[in-house]
Structure 1
Amino acid sequence: MALVGPHPAVADVRRAVREAVADLDPGDLVLAACSGGADSLALAAALGFVAPRAGLRSGLVTVDHQLQEGSEERAERVAGMAAGLGLGLAEVCTVTVGTAGGPEAAAREARYAALAETADRIGARAVLLGHTRDDQAETVLLGLARGSGPRSLSGMAAVSGRYRRPFLELPRRTTEDACRALALSPWDDPHNEDPRYTRVRVRRRILPVLVDELGPGIPEALARTARLAREDADALDQWADSAYQDCALSDIDGRLSLAVTALEGLPDAVRRRVLRRAAIAAGAPSGALSATHVLAVDRLVTHWRGQKAVDLPGGLSAVRRYGTLILAISPIA
C-alpha cells in the first residue's frame, strides 16, 4: 500500500518553516506570532510540527490591540490553541494603540513593540511572522504609491533581526488550503475588509484590477520585484557605508562635517544615501527626514550658488562652508 503524505499545502508551509529555522541551534526557542487568521494559524501549526523534529522549543504569541469588542476573549482563544498545535507555550500581549502615523502604522508599532518585549523576556531566538507573497505584493504597491525609492519597493525582508517571514514565497491561498486540510478554523478580522485602511483598498480593489487586466502572475511579479530591489538597495547601502567613511571629516560637539570634493565624485544614489546617513547621525529623526530634505542638502553639493543653510527635521541645519558640508543642531556660525 502506498504511503499517503500530507496535503500539498501543508507540506509547503512545513517546508517553508523548516527552511526558515534551519540555522538555529537545538534548544533555541522560536515563537509564532499568531492573530488567528489563516496565514498565522498555518504558520503556528507548521512550527508546532517542525520544532520538535528540529530539537527546537516553540511557542505562540498573540497580540490584543483592544480595537474591537471581544478582542480579549479572542486573544485568549488563540492562545488556547497552542497546545493543540504542538506548541510548548503561549503568551497574550495586550497593547494600547496610539495615533501617531495613522491607525495602521500605530497598530503595527504597538504590535512589534509587544513582540520584541515578549521575545526578550522569555528568551526567544526568533519570531516567525505569517506574511505571504500577496502581502509582499501589496507592500510593493504601497511603496510605489509613496514614491520613496528602491528601499521602499524592496518590501519586507525574509529575515530582519529576530523576525523571520517563512511564507514570502507562498501565495495566501496556500495558507488557506493548509488550514482547511488541517481542519483549522481561522478568524476573519473585520479590519481586513474595512476600506478605511489603505492596505485593504490595495488588497480588495487595486490588486484585483491589476490581476484582471494584466494576468494572474502579478502578485508573484511584484514579490520578485521586491527581492531584486532589496538586493540592489542592499548593495547601494554597502557602497554608501564605505563612502561615508571616506567623506566624513569630523563629528565633534554635535557638528558633523563632510568633504564636498569626496561627495561630488559619487553617483547620485550613493551620495544621497551618504547625506541621509549623515543627517541622521547629526540628529535628524529618520522618520521625519524625507527625500525632499535630502535633495535640498544634495543641492548644496551639486548646485552650489552660495545659498543659505538648509533646515532639516529635529532642529538640524546643513550649510556649505569652504568646501565642507556641515550639519549641526545648534546654529552654524
Structure 2
Amino acid sequence: MSNLEPRPTEIDCHSTVHRGDGGRGDAVAVEVLSARDVPLGGPRAMTVHRTLPQRQRSLIGAWCFADHYGPDDVSATGGMDVPPHPHTGLQTVSWLFSGEIEHRDTIGNHAMVRPGEVNLMTAGHGIAHTEVSTPDTTVLHGVQLWVALPESAADTPRDFAHHIPPVLERDGIEVRVFLGELLGERSPVHTFTPLLGAELTMPPDAEIALPVAPDFEHGLIVDQGRIRIVNSAAGPLERTELGYVGVGTDRLVLRNESGERARAVLLGGTPLDEEIIMWWNFVGRTHDDIVRFREQWTAHSDRFGKVEGYAGEIQHLPAPELPTTHLRPRHNVPGQA
C-alpha cells in the first residue's frame, strides 16, 4: 500500500507503559500505542489506523509501518484503488481478514491477496506496484505492514512471495504463522532479519501462553475484541491499539476479555540496530537517498520499472513535495520486558 498522505510527517502520539506480573511472577512491561486515523484518497477516503511509526516507537524489530483498516464497506467508500507507486529498501506484507485485492508489480506479478494468505513483496533496489480491491469485494478488512531491510540488503533485487499458512488450533484458538516461527510452525517466506508475524483468533475468555524468542521485541495489534497481556499490569488492549513488549521475555500470556471472538496480529523481531530514514514510500539511510529516490521516481527511472495492466487513470502516482527541513534518520531504542 502507498502512503497517500500529501505531506507525510512524523506525528507525536501518546503511549503508556504498564509494568506488573498479573500474579504470574513473570512480569513484562507493556507500552500501549494508540493508532491515529489517516484518510487515504479523496472525499470517499478509506480510513486506516496507523500504529507504526510513532515518535516514541519507530520500529518493532524491523517492522517499520503498520496500517490496520476496515471492516470497510466498499459500496460506501469505493474500496482500494492505489495507482502505480514506488518502494525502496523495504518489504511489504499484505494480510487480509476479508475481501480481496488485486496486485500487479514491475516484475510482472499479477496476484490476488486473500484472507489467510500472505503476499510479501521485496522492493530492495526499487519496485512499483498497484493495489485494487476486486469488484466482488463487499467488505475490505486487513493490515498492511512494511519491513525495513538492513543496510546489507537494502539494494537487493525485486522479489515476490506468496504463502498460505496452516491453521494451528489450541483449545479453540486459531493461529496462522505467516512469517517466522511460533508454536513449532515455521513460515517458508524469506526475510532478511529474524521476524515474526502471526494472526490469532480467540473465543471469549480463551487464554494462551505463547513461547517467544527473548531476543525479540513484540507488538500486538488488536483487530477486534479486548485482549489482555496477562503477565503484565496493563489493562486490556482495545481495538486498533498496539501493545509493545521489549526484549527479554520468553513468554506472552494472552486472554480474550470480551464477549466476542477476538482477533489480533502479533509482530516481532530482533531489534534493527541501524538508523533509517522513512519518507513517503521510501526507506533509505540519508536525506540524499530520499531526494534521489524521489527524483528518480518523478523522472520515470528504470530503477522502479513499469506496471503493466493497471486500468486506472493515474499511471504514475505523483510523489509529495519534500519537506523544507533536512530529513533526519531514526534509531530504534528497544524497550525491556
TM-score (norm: length of structure 2): 0.25
Report the structure, 1 or 2, having the larger strand content. Answer: 2
Report the structure, 1 or 2, having the larger helix content. Answer: 1
User: Max radius of gyration: which structure?
Assistant: 1
